Amino acid sequence: MPILIFLALPLVEIAAFILIGQAIGVVPTLLGVVLTGLLGMLVLRYQGAASLRDLRGAMARGELPGRAIADAMMIGLAGLLLLLPGYVTDALALLLLLPPVRGAIYGFLGARMVVVSSNRPYGGPHTPADPERLHRPDVIDLDDEDYRQR
pLDDT in tens, 1-28: 678 888 898 899 999 999 999 999 999 9
Q: For residues 18 and 138, which has the higher predicted lDDT (pLDDT)?
A: 18
pLDDT, tens only, 51-76: 888 888 888 888 878 888 888 889 88
In the predicted structure, residue 40 carries a pLDDT above the cut 80: no
In a domain, 127, yes or no: no
Per-residue pLDDT tens over the stretch 76-117: 898 888 888 889 998 899 899 889 999 999 999 888 887 666
DSSP string, 13-49: HHHHHHHHHHHH-HHHHHHHHHHHHHHHHHHHHHHHH
pLDDT of residue 123: 47
Question: How far is it, in rounded angstroms, from Cα 74 to Cα 105?
Answer: 9
In a domain, 57, yes or no: yes
Answer whether residue 106 is part of any domain.
yes
b/e string for 14-24 if b means 16 or more Cβ within 10 A? eebbeebeeee
Structural domain harbouring 55: 12-117
pLDDT band for position 136 (cuts 50, 70, 90): low
- The whole-angstrom distance between residue 46's C-alpha and the CA centroid of its chain comes to 17
Residue 1 in any domain: the answer is no
The answer to the question of residue 49 being in a domain is: yes
User: Is position 81 within any domain?
Assistant: yes
- Domains held by the chain: number: 1
Q: Is residue 73 situated within a structural domain?
A: yes
Mean pLDDT of the chain: 80
Please indicate, yes or no, if residue 147 is contained in any of the structural domains.
no
